[in-house]
Structure formats: structure tokens, C-alpha cells
């Protein structure tokens, strides 16, 4: 969000409790699988637009500026999705509303039935993006500060309500060296990107955690690069468990997942869940079956879900003393934070410019 605003010519101060390099159960981004894989359906037009904005930008970078892609920690990767739904059909239903993206992605094709893992009915593959979260997050904060962003590490307390939190934010703007005094700065606009924290901060009971647990592994012998694709195994019968394999760009490691457990706040990894994840991944990726799997870490992240979907709208907040602040709420992206990021930020930028034009 900050980089999009800065590239649009706006002054930005980032106020956050956690920054890239930090690790906390309350800071979801470092734990993400972080691939491009849309969760939208055809009837969710805006979500589809957001996802495609990220896809097109990242694909353009990996195709035309490999040096920048390496610094960002992104790389092109084949994404294979295989479907274990117990239906009699063996042909891929390309008319499904969940496959709206077919004309918009590169290299889409159905997987021949004889190449499907045992028990799978259909599958498809296309060119996607894999992201290394620690590297990508560090790139973003470095880019933001290079473009002039100020940063402030602080925690906004929800105890006295959202208006008081906004009042606390405004105090940061009144200090020295926060916003350049160049005569071109109007009243501050606050963008609320607090994710799961919005549940308390905004008293938004629609916000809830979706617990994800993954395992970071190294595989011996290391799979050939051509076989190191993103693999997703769709099987609704095991929900809220999930099965996926994601290569970490620039390393010889893989993320194996996972879980999508709603309303579960537990922060400690469960060793039994990790063992089950590995077994499920073995069943869909032959490279794992006879390999030595070195577990490097087990991790848990809480995705910021929201009933009704993303909240991206303007609210005028009375911060006291006759001060009314325009707040743009931008949270509730659940497990789609990375692929939504470019398009969602562009919409928020449009809202900022609309406020400033009044």
C-alpha cells in the first residue's frame, strides 16, 4: 500500500507494531505460502480485477527484469492443481466459475488423466508466481523508505475505541520530520491496514482468524528444477485441512501445507498436524515418497478473515476537538493478501485521490 501511494506522489508515514524482519503470530505476512492463486469466482468482479493486477505486474517483472525479480524474491513457477472430488467426470470443467482466469493466465492446459496422482479426477496447470515472503517484505520496506516514507513503530490500543486510536495517530503527524512542511500537505488521511487487529480496534465482529500451519523442509536428493512446481491438491472432504507444496524462490526449500481452520487462535504448531501434512504431500508429489525430508521449521499464521469479504471503504471519523479524519479501511483479505495486494492498493489510492479532490 505504502509503495503504491508513494509512487502516486503522496507523502507516507507507516505506523506499525511489526515491520519486515519481525516474527509474531499477530504478523501474518512472513508465514504465508505466498503464491499467485486466485480465490475469487466469476461473480466477484472486483476481486478478479485485483488478482489480475498482481498477476500481470509480477509476470511482467519476471519476464522483463529478472534482476528486479530476484531482488523482490519472486519467480515464475508452474502451478498444478489436481482435484480429488468424488465425481464421475474425468474431463476438466472449464466453464466453472472458479476457472474464470483461464483466458488471462499464461500456459493454461488440462493435465492428462494418466499424469494425475492416484485418486484424482482432473487437474490443470498454468504459469504462476511463487514469492519468498521475507525477501519480498524486505524489498517493499526498502523501496518505501527509498521513496521517502517515514516509519514509526507503535501499537494502537483498542481500549478507548477507534476514534482515540486515530487521535493517537494524528499526534505522530504533528511531530517534527514526520511530514515535509513544503506547503503541499493537506490534512492527513489514515489508511487502516490492521488486518486481524481490526476486530478489536474497529470493533468489527465480522473479522476472525483462519489458522494456517505449514512445515518448511529441505528434500534430499533435491528434486530437479523442472519438477519443482507449486502443487495444490483440492479435496473438500478433508477441509479445513489442505494439501499444497510451494517452492521458496532462491532456496532449496519447500513449504508444505497446511490448514485453514476458522476461529482458531492457537499459536503453537501441532506436531501431529505437521506429520499429517507431510504424509498428504507425499501422496500427491512422487519426489517426496522415497526422499529424506529435513524439517527446518514448523510455523503458524493467522489469516485475517472477514465475514462479507474485504472491507475497503472510506469512513469519516470524529477524532475530537472538531477534527474529522478521513479513514480508508483496507482489511479482511483472508488468505488472498499477496494476490490481492496490487489491485487492492490501487483502489485505495483512487479513494485517497478522490478525498483530496474534494
Residue ranges for the known binding site are 28-29, 194, 244, 303, 335
Annotated binding site for D-dopa: 244, 303, 335
How distant, in Å, are the alpha carbons of 108, 132, 267, 351 from that of 105?
A: 7, 21, 36, 28
Helix (H) or strand (E) holding 174: helix 162-174
Burial annotation 70-96 (CB, 10 A radius, 16+ → b, else e)? ebbbbbbbbbbbbbbeeeeeeebeeee
Residues 6+ apart with CB under 8 A from 277: 213, 214, 215, 243, 256, 257, 258, 259
* Phi and psi angles of residue 323, each rounded to the nearest 5 degrees, phi first: -95, 120
How distant, in Å, are the alpha carbons of 44, 60, 78, 79, 270 from that of 47?
A: 5, 20, 22, 20, 33
Place of cell 488486518: 195
Which three three-digit cell numbers place residue 288?
517426496
How distant, in Å, are the alpha carbons of 87, 125, 227, 332 from that of 82?
A: 13, 9, 15, 28
Contact 345, 353 (CB under 8 A): no
Helix (H) or strand (E) holding 209: strand 207-220
Place of cell 481500549: 159
Annotated binding site for FAD: 28-29, 194
The span from the CA of 212 to the CA of 267, in Å, is 10
Amino acid at each position: 500500500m505504502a509503495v503504491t501511494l508513494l509512487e502516486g506522489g503522496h507523502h507516507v508515514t507507516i505506523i506499525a507494531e511489526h515491520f519486515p524482519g519481525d516474527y509474531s503470530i499477530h504478523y501474518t505476512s512472513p508465514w504465508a505460502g505466498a503464491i499467485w492463486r486466485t480465490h475469487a469466482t466469476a461473480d466477484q468482479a472486483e476481486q478478479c480485477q485485483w488478482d489480475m493486477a498482481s498477476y500481470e505486474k509480477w509476470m511482467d517483472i519476471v519476464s522483463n527484469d529478472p534482476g528486479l525479480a530476484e531482488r523482490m524474491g519472486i519467480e515464475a513457477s508452474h502451478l498444478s492443481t489436481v482435484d480429488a472430488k468424488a465425481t464421475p467426470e474425468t474431463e476438466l470443467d472449464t466453464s466453472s466459475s472458479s476457472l474464470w482466469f483461464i483466458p488471462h493466465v499464461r500456459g493454461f492446459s488440462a493435465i492428462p488423466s494418466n499424469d494425475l496422482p492416484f485418486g484424482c479426477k482432473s487437474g490443470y496447470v498454468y504459469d504462476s508466481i511463487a514469492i519468498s515472503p521475507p525477501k519480498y517484505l524486505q524489498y517493499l520496506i526498502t523501496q518505501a523508505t527509498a521513496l521517502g516514507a517515514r516509519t514509526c513503530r507503535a501499537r494502537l490500543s483498542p481500549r478507548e475505541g477507534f476514534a482515540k486510536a486515530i487521535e493517537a495517530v494524528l499526534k505522530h503527524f504533528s511531530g517534527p520530520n514526520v511530514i515535509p512542511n513544503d506547503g503541499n500537505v493537506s490534512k492527513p488521511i489514515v489508511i487502516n491496514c490492521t488486518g486481524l487487529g481490526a476486530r478489536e480496534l474497529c470493533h468489527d465482529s465480522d473479522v476472525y482468524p483462519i489458522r494456517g500451519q505449514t512445515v518448511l523442509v529441505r528434500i534430499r536428493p533435491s528434486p530437479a528444477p523442472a519438477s519443482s512446481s507449486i502443487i495444490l491438491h483440492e479435496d473438500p472432504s478433508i477441509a479445513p485441512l489442505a494439501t499444497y507444496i510451494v517452492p521458496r524462490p532462491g532456496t532449496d526449500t519447500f513449504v508444505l501445507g497446511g490448514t485453514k481452520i476458522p476461529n482458531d487462535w492457537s499459536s503453537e504448531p501441532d506436531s501431529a498436524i505437521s506429520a499429517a501434512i507431510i504424509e498428504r504431500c507425499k501422496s500427491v508429489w512422487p519426489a517426496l515418497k522415497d526422499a529424506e525430508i529435513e524439517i527446518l521449521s514448523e510455523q503458524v499464521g493467522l489469516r485475517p478473515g472477514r465475514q462479507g469479504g474485504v472491507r475497503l471503504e472510506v469512513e469519516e471519523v470524529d477524532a475530537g476537538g472538531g477534527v474529522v479524519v478521513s479513514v480508508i479501511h483496507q482489511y479482511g483479505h483472508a488468505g488472498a493478501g499477496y494476490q490481492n495486494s496490487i489491485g487492492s492498493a490501487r483502489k485505495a489510492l483512487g479513494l485517497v485521490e478522490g478525498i483530496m479532490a474534494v
